[in-house]
A and B are shown apart, each in its own frame.
Chain A
Amino acid sequence: MSTRYPNRRSALFALGALPLLASCSGSETERTAGNPRYATIDQSGAIAHGPVAGRLPRTPTIDEIRQRGYLRQSGSLTNPGFALENVKTGAVTGFDAGIAQLLAKYLLGKPEVDTVTGGSDTREAMLGNHSVDVAIGTYTIKENRARLVNFAGPYYVAHSGVLVAADNRDIRRLSDLDGRRVAVQPGAAEESLRKEVPHAIPVLFEQSSQNASAVRQGRVVAWSANTALLLGKSVIDKELRMTDIAFGSSPFGIGTPKDDPAFKSVVVEFLHRIMADGTWRKLWECTVGVLTPGPVPHPPRVGSVPGS
């Protein structure tokens, strides 16, 4: 797998390097590469299995991607299980990263992806002015966003879970979070928490490791995020415990430029292809499946949510 990394993420990169200093748990890169669970994530098998489109229609976005020779997307590099950069090797692993690579392979024949980590604030703007071709990365399909971008998907439906300190027995139901401080990452998890638990007090930290530290140190009573991420954390960190609480559903979609509907159709077709030929299932198994026990779910039905 080859991936391109321009220097556009210095701010986030600085954030990513910090919790190493802060959490002080010994090994130099426990958070990412040295972490056994996350380290085993490797979706290259699924990518190899991925389809390549036959004849593609000409759309402005596809023309640009072809001319450039790689796919440029807005996404994250610090989201374990979905898109996490290995600082040592530069490889990006996870389900969302895999979808992006599969899309690049589908369009170009090679899984070359350039990730711009603008965060959740800039996705619509970057799609709107064609700074990126697509936005892939825990991008929840919503109707008011669909005014600005075309969503292809959902390709994954995430549910929020709640993680607490191992010795915490107070948090049993969702309502136990009312009036309590709950750590959450900006974006899909934050939206979900604000919507489903409006009386909780969200405390936003950019990094998953910061959220974990905040729980361990007692700064917050819980951390809410998608279940895959939390399960992964709770397995490797004995000080943290996953509760049975689950809430919300965040249908993740691929954002595409509003003014290129033909391109969206191509991406929708792509999703149908990988869901039908078993690639989606393979990708799930070697990414989220590594972190989550249980059987492989059925892929969501594309176009099944408002806004898609």
Chain B
Amino acid sequence: MTTTDTQPLVRLNGVGKSFGETKVLDGIDLDIAPGEVVVVIGPSGSGKSTLCRCINRLEPIDEGTIEFDGKTLPEEGNALAELRADIGMVFQSFNLFAHKTVRENVTLGPIRVRRRSKQDANRRAGELLARVGVVEHADKPPARLSGGQQQRAAIARALAMDPRVLLFDEPTSALDPEMVHEVLDVITGLAAEGRTMVVVTHEMGFARRVADRVVFMADGRIAESGNPADFFAHPKTERARDFLSRVLEHTETRPAS
């Protein structure tokens, strides 16, 4: 776990959540240090996506507390909206605003929430779109872009807010296989910059390469967590061993030993 001398940027304390009878999150304790890249893996239905969505309170929680930068997340309202601006999120299905151009998708938050001037926001959007490699599509509606391009634009949209944490909720799961790597490359680049990130993914190779820490979830709990080298080489729990043996068999990005 993280050392006590740095205060965690995000702290989950006994977080629980149920959908009806089903407990999807159960007693989650998780600290994320500034600059740390946490990759969350686990079988489908293990609650990893819900965990990610709870961090910026897109999903309300039933039990426990979530702190961001030492402050408990407020209830739904303008205070929460302000806080969300500091937490960037990238979704599985991109969720670009269909009625706006790619550039407008990126500038909406800075103009409306950060109160940037239109010129400033446009200039910065241009830089970010260039960085993720879709600047030549800036004035098209999102529907004209490929999935991979859309997801990279969505990442630019999240970055435009200068977030202090980036959440990735299965960012490549909706992509055709040939587009996965172009998105993972962008995320990898961000990780290398020392950004604080939580990435929920099925890409084991990516997890191994990029994560400072891997969190393995099963049945709504954190079953195991640790540095990726140890985790992939010597999973401690039966669930993790089982999961890895099944996943790695079918993954091209087999961990190099």
Q: Tell whether any CB of A sits under 8 Å from a CB of B in the complex.
A: no
